[in-house]
Structure 1
Amino acid sequence: MKKIILFLAFAGLANAQAPAGYYSSANGLAGAALKTELSSIITNGHQDKGYGGLWTAYKTTDIDKTYENDGSIMDIYSEKPNGADPYNYTVVTNQCGTYSVEGNCYNREHVVPQSLFNEASPMVADVNFIRATDGKVNGMRSNYPYGKVGTATFTSKNGSKLGNSVSSGYGGTVFEPIDEFKGDIARMIFYFVTRYQSKLSTFSSGNMLGNTTFPGLQTWELNVLLAWHNQDPVSQAEIVRNNASYAYQGNRNPFIDNPAYVNQIWGSQQPSNDTQAPTTVTGLSVSGKTSSSVSLSWTASTDNIGVSSYDVYMNGSLKTNVSSTSATVSGLSPSTSYTFYVVAKDAAGNVSSNSSTVSATTESGGTTNPGTDCVSETFETIPTGSSSSYSTRTWTNSGITWTATDARTDQTISNKAITVRDGSLKSSSSANGIGSLTVTTQLKFSGSNGTFNVLVNGVQAGTIPYSTTAATTTINNINVSGNVIITLENNSSSNRVAIDNLSWTCYSGTGKQSKSAPSAVQAESKDLQIYPNPISNQEIFVKGETQNIKKAEIYNLQGKVMQTINDPFKNSKGSIKIKSLTQGIYILKLDNSSLKFIIK
């Protein structure tokens, strides 16, 4: 049996860990006002150490000092508080790497899935809600919300479960940690929706987040987390981790320091106390359409507490629920008329009256002609709120949803433009492939000339230069067929570059990414990294857990295997000697992970 340390006066003990006066400006506040003040407190001093910095953080933040106290990784998905752990991880040595079963390696678990905020900074690297956990269990949890499981389809070796939800108000798939860590999970999520409350309207809900600053969570999830917070008080392990996180990152989780904040903010907001419905949605219009989809946009509703989401109806039937003020309904038939309306919902489940209806007829079907414009974005419909600040911006135009991270909207080229700093511009999936791409760029303010990377389905297809002079560049012969997602990545973390008049032509031939190419090409591994890149001397150096990798394969972008190496790291220290390859872009597949590299 383990030595368990019990603390009775959690609030007093925890509060003593914060610097004197750290929360003084929050004194006397409650509800939404307290949440907003706490957001300001924990935003000040927050240092973004980058996604890779989490591995460094875990050397102090995620070490077991309260259960075995053995210096191993403190993993909430494998820790057994009252018995022997099924496996233990040594910091750095057992860092993922690849995994197939529990116990292979530990990686970085975003308690609030990074897909909900498009992997943007600083959220993607915030140690206060990103735990070191077993890779396999992390993968099984995926991006499902947390809740009470009915019938488990997966159970980890410490009893964490995945399965259907029996939590009131939600019937989808959920993940349930063991009782020992339910409060830990709740307080990390409370931290997230407080620290990033001003960004919630730009995030996806994931069936857990709200899109307003208060309450910041879906009603059903809020009720689950309030119950977990109350049944599992703050532990010494949380206090230790909070102090280490503060030393590393410069900000704290206030709900560990002062657990009473939870009920002061959300406890008095019982769903039954809110009976006022949101206002009726106005301004519903058709923003774009294709032969198989219709895109809609509308003006945000208002509510006495806050609008949580919108239900979109087509021909009288519910089609989708979104947290933003736009939606695309797909899977439609060509040359067919459809009618739409939208209703707003608040966190208590109150529903507005139906909006006015709009009708749209999808485009006619047929084969798209290669060489014609598939997508043309002029940025005239970009959001303009707080236009000079940098944040994540999303909008939909002509059936394409765009996401620009670390972006502002007040700069112009021909007219409106989107300006990206330390981020990217990314499209949603577009049919009919891509032949060539054309875009206009211009460096704004100070900085130096540079380039954007252009990625098609996650694979680099070329670069776009920029300078202080507005210039239009075309990349020819990209030639990728099928559904494509286009991303423009800023190679600089400080240059502010405006983008305007982006378009690409259709391509209906045989694309570069054939079926023989590795399926993981479209989603590169974040746990392994090639350095330097471009490579030199026909040698690939790989950072990360490599000793257990059984097979390496090198593909060109046409999907042809160029070289196969068994046990590639058996007789080396993180490097692979390769055959002479010509200049270009290649994919290195290591078991189930894929990495892009360049030979110049």
Structure 2
Amino acid sequence: MYKILLTLWCIISFISAQSIIGPGNTKLNLFNYLIENYKTNSTLSYNNARDVMYSIIDLGQDNTLKGIYTNYTITIDPSQDPRPQTNALNMNCEHSWPQSMGASGSPQKSDLHHLYPTRGNVNSSRGNKPFGEIDDNQTDKWWRLDYYSNNIPNQFIDEYSEVDNDNELFEPREDVKGNIARSMFYFYTIYNNVANQNFFDQQKDVLFEWHKLDPIDEVELTRTYAIANYQNDIPNPFVIDSTLIRRIWYLNCFENINSQVLLDNILSSENYSSNYDINSDTNVNIFDLMYILNRESGQNAYFICD
């Protein structure tokens, strides 16, 4: 019975990840909607946040703790103070959005939605570098588990995180790229008043690609709700709704579309484009138009987006 209930819970949780947040809102309207509705006014102290992350949020059933970038694994005793244990075993706290780029103050420094356990050496190697795709021939270090290599790996290459010191880039291992991307979009949105704009701009496009290639899964969804228990019951909205990034930054807008073009191209199934599928049901129909169209009085023109 327990396994059945757990399976049902996972299914329900995964479905909730497809929920549409702020339906009818796009671009700046949606951006502001997230700030108004998903900004926590309460985070733990930095010490307590790390303790909770190490001993509750990211602790496995066998008391193992895994680093986000290399899957480096340690075992701790959750009944004891976790930080002395993690420090002794070269595990510390990674700010996916670096402190030097806006995450040094309160409450953002201890906001768990962008914090992860990380092997200490790898954390230092990343530093405050932006994320990006690195040409294998440009990689200076390949990090995996508890070791690194200066040479291109001949196996398990997707399990390595990479650093390019010349071009100041860091590339996480493949199966956490989406997680990192959603944390980054979260920080930039929620803490936009302190987030370094240039830092965001130089990696925004690649983060969007990672978000699409590494979609939300049950583990990530469970994590964001576990964090919410400590932060005003507020999860990371970018984990709850996979359409947010596209609807804010990548929704194509078209002005002065006459009614014939609208009928011939937007509502025609053979010309279907996900750009118009605002409610993400794989159909473009009147429900999408109700969200995004405003008709100017006395004009035969439509304006898509806000």
TM-score (norm 1): 0.35
State the 1:118 CA deviation. 6.5
Give the residue type in structure 2 aligned to 1:242.
T
Residues 354-393 of structure 1: matches in 2 within 5 Å?
Answer: none
Aligned to 1:224, what secondary structure does the other structure show? helix
Matched, 1:232 2:214: yes
Distance of aligned partners of 1:118 and 1:14 in 2 relative to their CA distance in 1, 3 Å threshold: closer
Number of corresponding residues: 224
Q: Percent identity?
A: 26
Q: Quick one: distance in 2 between partners of 1:32 and 1:223?
A: 18
State the 1:140 CA deviation. 0.8
**Structure 2 partner of 1:177:** 172
Give the residue type in structure 2 aligned to 1:252.
P
State the 1:11 CA deviation. 6.1
Distance of aligned partners of 1:122 and 1:231 in 2 relative to their CA distance in 1, 3 Å threshold: same
**Structure 2 partner of 1:555:** none
Residue number among 26, 35, 43 corresponding to 1:39 in the alignment: 35
Residue number among 15, 23, 40 corresponding to 1:12 in the alignment: 15
Provide structure 2 residue ranges, at least 5 long, that are not aligned to the other structure. Answer: 1-6, 145-158, 255-306
Residue number among 58, 61, 69 corresponding to 1:62 in the alignment: 58
State the 1:87 CA deviation. 3.5
Rg larger in 1 or in 2? 1
Residues 289-328 of structure 1: matches in 2 within 5 Å?
Answer: none
Residue number among 223, 227, 230 corresponding to 1:248 in the alignment: 230
Aligned to 2:141, what secondary structure does the other structure show? strand
State the 1:237 CA deviation. 1.5
State the 1:112 CA deviation. 0.5
RMSD: 2.8
Q: Quick one: distance in 2 between partners of 1:191 and 1:127?
A: 11
Aligned to 2:49, what secondary structure does the other structure show? helix
Matched, 1:88 2:74: yes
Deviates more, 1:260-269 or 1:222-231: 260-269
**Structure 2 partner of 1:263:** 246
Q: Quick one: distance in 2 between partners of 1:56 and 1:13?
A: 28
Is 1:146–1:176's contact at 8 Å kept on the other side of the alignment? yes
- What per-residue deviation string (whole Å, max 9, x for no partner) do you get for residues 360-404 of structure 1? xxxxxxxxxxxxxxxxxxxxxxxxxxxxxxxxxxxxxxxxxxxxx
Residue number among 88, 98, 117 corresponding to 1:113 in the alignment: 98
**Structure 2 partner of 1:159:** 160
Is 2:43–2:230's contact at 8 Å kept on the other side of the alignment? no
Q: Quick one: distance in 1 between partners of 2:169 and 2:85?
A: 26
Aligned to 1:132, what secondary structure does the other structure show? strand
Q: Quick one: distance in 1 between partners of 2:123 and 2:107?
A: 21
Matched, 1:222 2:207: no
Q: Quick one: distance in 2 between partners of 1:115 and 1:131?
A: 17
**Structure 2 partner of 1:75:** 67
Aligned to 2:203, what secondary structure does the other structure show? helix
Residues 387-536 of structure 1: matches in 2 within 5 Å?
Answer: none
- What per-residue deviation string (whole Å, max 9, x for no partner) do you get for residues 78-124 of structure 1? 22xxxxxx5424251664436xxxxx321111001001126111111
Residues 197-208 of structure 1: matches in 2 within 5 Å?
Answer: 197=192, 199-200=193-194, 203-205=195-197, 207-208=198-199
Q: Quick one: distance in 2 between partners of 1:255 and 1:264?
A: 11
Is 2:161–2:172's contact at 8 Å kept on the other side of the alignment? yes
Distance of aligned partners of 1:176 and 1:109 in 2 relative to their CA distance in 1, 3 Å threshold: same
Give the residue type in structure 1 aligned to 2:129.
Y
Q: Quick one: distance in 2 between partners of 1:34 and 1:260?
A: 11
Is 2:113–2:236's contact at 8 Å kept on the other side of the alignment? yes
Matched, 1:141 2:133: no
State the 1:181 CA deviation. 0.3
Q: Quick one: distance in 2 between partners of 1:260 and 1:63?
A: 29
Matched, 1:52 2:47: yes
Is 1:182–1:228's contact at 8 Å kept on the other side of the alignment? yes
Residues 573-588 of structure 1: matches in 2 within 5 Å?
Answer: none
State the 1:257 CA deviation. 0.8
Q: Quick one: distance in 1 between partners of 2:130 and 2:246?
A: 21
Distance of aligned partners of 1:204 and 1:258 in 2 relative to their CA distance in 1, 3 Å threshold: closer
**Structure 1 partner of 2:267:** none
Residue number among 87, 92, 108 corresponding to 1:97 in the alignment: 87
State the 1:56 CA deviation. 2.6
State the 1:147 CA deviation. 0.4
Q: Which has the higher strand share?
A: 1
Is 1:145–1:175's contact at 8 Å kept on the other side of the alignment? yes
Give the residue type in structure 2 aligned to 1:74.
K
Is 1:51–1:125's contact at 8 Å kept on the other side of the alignment? yes
Aligned to 1:97, what secondary structure does the other structure show? helix
Is 2:65–2:73's contact at 8 Å kept on the other side of the alignment? no
TM-score (norm 2): 0.66
Distance of aligned partners of 1:241 and 1:94 in 2 relative to their CA distance in 1, 3 Å threshold: farther
Q: Quick one: distance in 1 between partners of 2:14 and 2:218?
A: 11
Provide structure 1 residue ranges, at least 5 long, that are not aligned to the other structure. Answer: 17-22, 80-85, 99-103, 166-171, 210-217, 274-600
Select the structure with the greater relative contact order (CA < 8 A; seq sep ≥ 6). Answer: 2
Give the residue type in structure 2 aligned to 1:34.
L
**Structure 1 partner of 2:280:** none
